Amino acid sequence: MKSSAMVPASSFGMTPSISAGVRPASPIASRAACRWSSRVENSVPRVKGVCPTPTIAVWALIDIFSLESRVSRGGRDERARVDRVPEDNGFRGADPTDRRGDVDVALPKGYHWPGGARGAAGLCWLEVVMRIGIFVSETWGPASALDEIRDRTRHAEAMGFASAWVPYLPWSLDALTSMQAAGEVTEAIEIGSAVIPTYFFHPLALARQTATTQAAIGRPIHLGIGCSNPAVVAMHGLPFDRPARHVREYLEVLEAAMQTGAKPAGEREQAGFVQFEGEFFALGSIYGTPAVRPPGSILVGALGPHMLRVAGTCSDGVIATWSDEGAIEREIVPPVRAAARAAGRSDPRIAGVVAVAIVPRARTADVRAAAQAEFAFYEQSMPYQRVVQASDAEAIGEICVIGDEEEVARRLRGFRDAGMTDFLAAPFAVEGADWNSTAEKLARIEL
């Protein structure tokens, strides 16, 4: 089963023009595994411009007038040059009056131009099967300091990762503050949270902090939220009451808050006010949220059937944990896609958080045993039991991606083929395989 996440190129902050006719020989590495399809149509090179992330699918037909390619294998250096931006380019946020003579269009590493020969006519589209992100704040060990988060995010962007993620854990720094630190030292890499507990933050407060973070870094963030689990919520003295209903209402308030106050282009934006009446939230806000663009995407941490339906119906996708290839294909993808389809939403993002250690083959068994000892308590913890039991793995240590580069590439292809759109690597540090080592090796892997 294949999946695709299709959204506008403008989501990357690129000039929204995509050219047909050149496909640079770039390693897929950590950005994405891409497949191109094309067919000849008329005599004018045209392209359906589709790039992965954040919220909705936008298909755009773009007339291409001339093309020059410059190809590099390092960083974000694949480029094409077009003579002008077409008038009807179809992308949100594009300026149809732009007539600059030379427009550089840079694709992040792993996103390829469509292809046949230079100047070949045709209608082409990109189907992105899976992208690879990495956690830049510790998920298993002691909390990362802000300087460490900044350094790791810079390295992740330089190595070509699609996204950088921070957790919200009892021992971690605040997620949105960490995201701001990560975003301020980078230019284009996606910044996301996985996941912020909904019971601990009022949705209006989270909307305001999200908008402020985006204003500080100058680009959208990707907001992963979820209900957490009964034990963690109980630590805060709060009731874990009807979590699926709670998250559904939370998303409704959050989305309304993010969209208030927008003004037509040229007019000053100002805060708006949210009116909502539900079982968990009944409010007429006495303050508005900063009128800043909505997040690049809102994803829901979900494993059970009710929450998976909420994720597909009310958000841009799901973040799943402790789910191997079989669980992703059988338990996660079908209900989320079905719910999104029924709600008239675009193809959802299917993100999975997976512990990763890249070690020599001779060490694989020992490192897997260490992972099993580290994470065994999840096998006895709700709501992880169900998804672990639904996996093909016999134990939670087998869900972790552990092995040499060849084995890791094999597992990545398995997740891709199961329908995962975003593989979120959480490095599991062992002797000889710290964060830097794992990130560098992961970035070199070709799918």
What's the farthest any 2 CA atoms get from each other in the chain? 67
Residues of the domain holding 286? 131-444
pLDDT of residue 383: 73
pLDDT of residue 292: 55
The set of residues, in sequence order, having a beta carbon less than 8 Å from that of 389 and lying 6+ positions away, is none
Classify strands 275-277 and 282-284 as parallel, antiparallel or unpaired: antiparallel
429 by Cβ neighbours in 10 Å (0-12 / 13-18 / 19+) ranks as: middle
Residues 184 and 115 in one domain: no
Residues 79 and 214 in one domain: no
Residues 270 and 309 in one domain: yes
Residues 183 and 225 in one domain: yes
Cα 346 to Cα 57, 131, 205, 336, 402, distances in angstroms: 6, 18, 27, 11, 33
pLDDT of residue 188: 94
Residues 121 and 136 in one domain: no
Query: pLDDT 10s per residue in the chain (447 long)?
Result: 233 333 333 333 322 223 222 222 222 222 333 332 222 222 222 223 333 332 222 222 222 222 233 222 223 233 333 233 233 333 233 333 333 333 333 433 334 444 332 333 333 334 456 999 999 999 877 889 999 999 999 999 999 999 999 999 888 999 999 999 999 999 999 999 999 999 999 999 999 899 899 999 999 999 999 998 777 877 888 888 899 999 999 999 998 888 765 554 445 555 567 888 889 988 886 666 665 567 899 999 999 999 999 999 999 999 999 999 999 999 999 999 999 999 999 999 999 999 999 999 999 999 999 999 999 988 887 778 888 888 999 999 999 999 999 999 999 999 999 999 999 999 999 888 899 999 999 999 987
pLDDT of residue 293: 66
What's the CATH code of the domain at 162?
A: 3.20.20.30
Residues 223 and 207 in one domain: yes
Phi and psi torsions of 178, nearest 5°: -65, -40
Q: Give the residues across from 358 on adjacent strands.
A: 403
Residues 155 and 217 in one domain: yes
- Of 75, 100, 130, the last residue of a domain is 130
Residues 9 and 138 in one domain: no
Residue 417 to residue 408: CA distance in whole angstroms: 14
Residues 137 and 220 in one domain: yes
Q: Cα 103 to chain center, whole Å?
A: 27
Classify strands 422-427 and 123-135 as parallel, antiparallel or unpaired: parallel
Number of domains in the chain: 2
- Of 130, 145, 178, the last residue of a domain is 130
- Of 76, 103, 130, the last residue of a domain is 130
Residues 150 and 230 in one domain: yes
Residues 236 and 352 in one domain: yes
Query: Integer distance in angstroms from the first to the last C-alpha of the chain?
Result: 16
Nearest to 95 by CA among 106, 107, 86, 103: 86
Nearest to 74 by CA among 36, 29, 32, 33: 29
Residues 401 and 296 in one domain: yes
Residue 187 to residue 185: CA distance in whole angstroms: 7
